[in-house]
Amino acid sequence: MDLITRFKTKLGQGMPPVIVDGADAPVNANHRFGDDVDVTIFPAARHWAGDGGRYIGTGDAILTRDPDGGWLNVGCYRQMVQGKNQVGLYLSPGKDARLHIERYWSRNEPCEVVAVWGVDPAMFVAASLGFGKTLSELEFIGGITGRPMELCKGQAGSVPYPAHAEIVAEGVIRPDAMKLEGPFGEFTGYYGRPEDMAFLMEVKALHFRDKPILTHALMADYPANETSLLYSIARAAKIWNDLDKLGVPGIRGVYCHPAAAGGWGLTIVSLEQRYAGHAPQVLALASQVPGGAYYAKWIIAVDEDVDPSNMNQVLWAMATRCNPAEDIDLLRQTWSTWLDPTQNPPEERPYGSKALINACMEHRYIKQFSKRTKVRRSVYESVARRWSQLGFPGAPPRLWALEDGERQEPPAG
Ligand SMILES: Cc1cc2nc3c(=O)[nH]c(=O)nc-3n(C[C@H](O)[C@H](O)[C@H](O)COP(=O)(O)O)c2cc1C
């Protein structure tokens, strides 16, 4: 929760990127243009035995320009090697780069693309988060690192690329350029959708450092997938930041457990219920804000005395404060992906559904709700003070629910 709170603060601090002189940029140490382009010089990996090919972009960042607004989007999307100067780009429905490409194509125009295959972690995190569809993630990268992101002017196109990247490809997706791609072992722990058509990027130029690092993100069940932990912390902070921006009061914390399909499948919000309808409002918004809308299937609200990152506490709240017949709502036909294994046959994808679970004390009777058993604060503090003296290892656990006030003596007799 500390990490989530700190990252949320950073998401509130934007800083626009700057264009620098490309001559000094580390990424410009080596170049390949035109016929010399060969993406197979990099050790793209086959992640899973059943993958349809070698993947060069998984922990990456892809830049495209909005054809109307002109702003630059940054997204993290998988890329499969299709040839010396060709890579497939898989984009789920509603992803910003997909919306850009579709609008260029509707005008019979190509879409310029910059692919960053060796990427700064801050850029990777920003690329994988859902921001509003009219915002550029580049500002948020500056906010996360505390310095403006440095970009070089494009050499084979008009989209700039990061000066401190390890490996960058400039290219173009021409109208109707598509090729069979996948399957790929995905964040769900399944091979996503069967092999199907995906956008085909023609690589026009490569720029890379000496001894460049190619960044990969293995998609797998948690905890084998460490990217999930990074992503779920960032996703929770983004949803909390979105709720703050909407002016929703009383949010005590947000958590996305990495075991729930890399953090995408579950959102838990802890709140102090301040008015009738507050918890249902938080559930509806958390399920649909830019940072939380895609894929999420389970959205759970808990009271402020429940740490959303403590699954013991969350399960306790679900088992004692949620009355399923009254407290679960469903949203249907929601934003999802071709990668969701529960939607069958695969041709019928990509619609999803969401369960909104209110595991807060019933607001109507909150004053009469049974009193919870809690450790007294004075007892907790005295034990915590003597923690190592008493022979306990590490730091004392932090408890979200403590009883204030002195011990109530039972009435005499
Ligand atoms: C490691 C990783 C790989 C991802 N791969 C893909 C992908 O191949 N295609 C896709 O549509 N989204 C993928 N995503 C999800 C997107 O990065 C995420 O939804 C992000 O918000 C997309 O950016 P956008 O909102 O600007 O479209 C991936 C996320 C992570 C963390």
Q: What is the pLDDT of residues 31-70, one digit of tens each?
A: 999 999 999 999 999 999 999 999 998 999 999 999 999 9
Q: What is the mean pLDDT of residues 302-309?
A: 97
Ligand 1 centroid–CA 230 distance in Å is 14
- What atom in ligand 1 is closest to the CA of residue 129? 21
Q: Is 128 in the pocket of ligand 1 (CB under 6 A)?
A: yes
Q: Which atom of ligand 1 is nearest to the CA of 294?
A: 19
96 lines ligand 1 (CB under 6 A): yes
Q: Is 92 in the pocket of ligand 1 (CB under 6 A)?
A: yes
Minimum-distance ligand 1 atom for the alpha carbon of 131: 25
Buried b (16+ CB within 10 A) or exposed e, 361-380: bbbeeeeeeeeeeeeeeeeb
Q: How confident is the model at residue 78 (pLDDT cuts 50, 70, 90)?
A: very high
Q: Is 192 exposed, middle or buried (0-12, 13-18, 19+ CB in 10 A)?
A: buried
Question: Which residue has a Cα nearest atom 5 of ligand 1?
Answer: 77
pLDDT at 134: 85
pLDDT tens figures, 269-298: 999 999 999 999 999 999 999 999 999 999
Q: What pLDDT digit, counting tens, does each position of 215-265 carry?
A: 999 999 999 888 999 999 999 999 999 999 999 999 999 999 999 999 999
Question: pTM of the predicted model, to two decimals?
Answer: 0.96
Edge-to-edge strand list for the sheet holding 328-335: 251-255, 266-271, 298-303, 351-359, 328-335
The alpha carbon of 128 and the centre of ligand 1 are apart by a number of angstroms equal to 5
Q: Does residue 1's CB lie within 6 angstroms of at least one atom of ligand 1?
A: no
Query: Over pLDDT 70: what percentage of the chain?
Result: 98
Q: Which pLDDT score, from 0 to 100, does residue 407 have?
A: 66
